[in-house]
């Protein structure tokens, strides 16, 4: 992931705005999963929902994960949300990727 200091502030602001919108409009499956993992409920790990990932070589762009655990470097997507180029880009920076059947 990029060093946050090298990311343009306008891009960070845009990512935060989009993440907030996604959290406000989450699917029923996301709500259920979030209740199961929030507040360190899953194996004592902290998860984030709708979390932006900035990737080197992808200037002015980012991916928004459905759920992310920084400790385990684990990205979780609802089955229908991830596409091949995202998988390859995230794997390049050593993030594990799992799909959730919703």
pLDDT in tens, 57-94: 666 778 888 899 999 988 888 765 555 556 666 666 66
Whole-number pLDDT of residue 5: 62
Q: Across residues 10-36, what is the average pLDDT?
A: 92
Element (H, E) at 97: strand 96-100
d(CA 53, CA 73): 11
Q: Which residue has the higher pLDDT, 94 or 46?
A: 46
* Burial profile 9-25: b = 16 or more Cβ within 10 angstroms, e = fewer: eebeeebeeebeebeee
Q: Rounded to two decimals, what is the model's pTM?
A: 0.75
pLDDT of residue 99: 65
């Amino acid at each position: 992931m990029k060093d946050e200091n090298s990311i343009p502030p306008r891009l960070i602001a845009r990512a935060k705005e989009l993440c907030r919108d996604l959290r406000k409009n989450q699917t029923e499956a996301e709500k259920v999963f979030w209740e199961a993992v929030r507040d360190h409920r899953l194996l004592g790990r902290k998860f984030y929902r709708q979390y932006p990932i900035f990737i080197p070589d992808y200037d002015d762009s980012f991916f928004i994960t459905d759920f992310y655990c920084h400790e385990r470097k684990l990205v979780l997507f609802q089955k229908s949300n991830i596409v091949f180029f995202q998988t390859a880009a995230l794997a390049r920076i050593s993030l594990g990727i799992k799909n959730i059947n919703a």
